[in-house]
Amino acid sequence: MQDHEEFGLDWCYGRLMKRTWSLDVRLTRPAWLEKRPALEAVTWQSMVGRLKRRQVAGLAALFVTSEGVGVVHVERQGQEAPCVRVCAFQTVARGQAPGKVAQTLIKSQKLEKARFVGVLDRSAYALFPAEPPDLPREEWATAMKWRIKDQIQFPVTQAVLELFDMPGGGGAGSESGRVYVAAAKDGEIRRHVQLFVDAGVQLSVLDIPELALLNLTRWMPEAREGMVLLHLESQSGLVMVIKDGQFYLARRMESGAEALEREGGAGLANSPFLDRVALEVQRTMDYYESHFGQGAVGMLQIAPLPVAVPGVREGLAERLGMRVKYMNLREILTISDTVADGDLARALLAMGAAVRDMDPGV
């Protein structure tokens, strides 16, 4: 697993902690709170108090969809595969506060004392490669703000950045030595954090979808030799290349499973959506081979879909001329038979975030 910066509480509390979250780090009141009021109903002292409470083993993740809120809890015993002990979802009615619904759901699963992680919405941040500055690593994020000011759609003074290494390449045009920059508006970070505050739980890390998906693929033998992963949400999609526990690149799509479902009724033999997906996959593979000095990728894995649409695997295999499989989460993680496949699809990123600290090699 490549080293990457934590998307954690340091995003929200004036860089409270750097890189690795740990309960035994020294907690100091950040200067950020001297100039701004604390988030509603939360003081610095109460936050520190929550950190000291006895914890539930493993990691829990809280997530929100257009229909409601969900929670997953993942734990690992010894060298066994991670076990999804909880995967619960609760609809949010009009007028209800998602945070309060989440609080009730968490209490019903007895997870109030769990350590929680979350995942940023894809619309909440931008991700792009950049040349790192010639400075000590701890100064990169600050210096990088002024380098990327023309690549973001909001004032650089409102930008929150995190960086992680790109894998080195070997050919002409290699990406060796470059980094990925994730840039989010500080208001978006606070919006995501507020859900956890309202739910009354301890948030330790905010991840991004690319790294949450990477966490899951570490448990897939196919990912060691390299594969393309297709992840479709309702109105967006992501095509990414992963090899040997490393994230190489990703390409976003502006349409998702809803478009696939609309076309599925008439059959997918002439589906414009599958044509677009195949084109994005091909472009992603071409870039991977040319810029990272890598050989051809032989497999495409389709992450669990929000809706079941027959013919997706066959349609993409025919268009791309490569092996195409559905990702089977039940082969990767230990999951109760009582968890519906539909819940697996909408909780996928949350599960990926919740296995972030679980190393298959340990």
| 3-class SS string, 218-256 | CCCHHHHCCEEEEEECCCCEEEEEEECCEEEEEEEECCC
Position 343 pLDDT exceeds 60: yes
Give dist(CA 137, CA 143) in Å, integer: 10
Give dist(CA 315, CA 311) in Å, integer: 6
Cβ atoms of residues 60 and 115 within 8 Å? yes
Percent of the chain surpassing pLDDT 70: 82
Amino acid symbol at 89: F
Position 168 pLDDT exceeds 90: no
The DSSP secondary structure of 166-181, one letter per residue, reads: PPP--STT--TT-EEE
Residue 325 is given by DSSP the state E
CA nearest neighbour of 68 among 43, 99, 40: 99
pTM surpassing 0.95?
no
232-260 per-position pLDDT tens digit? 998 999 999 999 989 999 999 998 999 98
Position 155 pLDDT exceeds 50: yes
| pLDDT at residue 109, as a whole number | 95
Position 197 pLDDT exceeds 90: yes
Q: What is the mean pLDDT of the chain?
A: 83
| pLDDT at residue 79, as a whole number | 86
**Tokens describing residue 158:** 């409102």
Give dist(CA 123, CA 190) in Å, integer: 14
Q: pLDDT-based confidence at 146, cuts 50/70/90?
A: confident
